[in-house]
Amino acid sequence: MVDVGGVKIGGGNFAVIAGPCSVESEAQICEVAADVKASGAKLLRGGAFKPRTSPYSFQGMRGEGIKLLLEAKAKTGLPIVTEIMDISQLPLFDEVDLIQVGARNMQNFELLKELGHTRKPILLKRGLASTIEELLMSAEYIMAGGNSQVILCERGIRTFETCTRNTLDISAVPVLHELTHLPVIVDPSHACGIARLVEPMAMAAAACGANGVMIEVHNNPAKALCDGPQSLTPAQFDETVKKVKRVYAAATEQ
């Protein structure tokens, strides 16, 4: 079990993490934070440093984005999770509750080693084309440095399928539970890339033993600077959380 600013992830708890792909403005992040909290989210997500395929796409608000996340945290009490892309950014993450290592950095071994020397909880996302074994070895890089607070995240992998952004490897959840004691969460948003598929895949995660889900929510998905097509509105998120909780209760019923 990993304690993230008082929120326990793993063990018998099911954690809902939500927020926009990227922090875009004070109003945007604070509004979404209040909305997702009201629907039952326990952690606020939001990218400040964004790994974008094109260098001409919005790259994130960087340090300013982290400040806005901290403001949203102060207003709502929700601990925050945001992605680090380079070791040089680490000083900006002092007050970040959960540091995300994104799919594209899962095998940035120098970054993983450095994070192993911190005592911060780390959310390690599976690489775009990484095996479960490779994901576990990356977690090992962090833990070998003495930092045992690692949460794993299945976020879909590259396959030949083109109907979805990635292919959610849902079987990774029970396989990881067999191979490791670490908590495992599922990110259905990046796995599918399509908002209407997020709810059924989040329910599948709750049914198969995931310790939580991370879902992208935007107050105006059509205008989002990043990942609008896969973002839920706050109202859609509210519905999804209700269904996910029902599935989790049924799946864990004694």
CB of 178 to Mn ion, least distance (A): 29
**b/e for 51-82, b at 16 or more Cβ within 10 A?**
eeeeeeeebbbeeebbbbbbebbeebebbbbb
Binding flag, residue 30, ligand PEP (CB under 6 A): no
- Smallest distance from the beta carbon of 169 to ligand PEP, in angstroms? 13
Residue 47 is a binding residue for ligand PEP (CB under 6 A): yes
- CB of residue 124 to Mn ion, shortest distance in Å: 16
Distance CA 254, CA 111 (A): 42
Could you say which of 227, 236, 244, 248 contacts Mn ion (CB under 5 A)? 227
Q: What is the smallest separation between the CB atom of 115 and ligand PEP, expressed in angstroms?
A: 15
Nearest by Cα to 198 from 223, 166, 226:
166
Residue with token string 């990043």: 226
Binding residue for ligand PEP, selected from 103, 172, 192, 202, defined by CB under 6 A: 103
Instruction: State which of positions 6-45 bind Mn ion (CB under 5 A).
Output: 21
Q: Judged by CB under 6 A, does residue 218 bind ligand PEP?
A: no
Q: How far is the CB of 198 from ligand PEP (least distance, A)?
A: 13
Question: Which of Mn ion, ligand PEP, none is residue 146 near (CB under 5 to 8 Å by kind)?
Answer: none
DSSP string, 87-153: GGGGGGGTT-SEEEE-GGGTT-HHHHHHHHTS-S-EEEEPPTT--HHHHHHHHHHHHHTT---EEEE
**155, 186, 211, 215: residue in contact with ligand PEP (rule CB under 6 A):** 155
Where on the chain is the footprint of Mn ion (CB under 5 A)? 21, 227
Q: Using CB under 6 A as the criterion, which residues of the chain lie in contact with ligand PEP when the complex forms?
A: 21, 47, 51, 83, 102-104, 125, 155, 187, 190
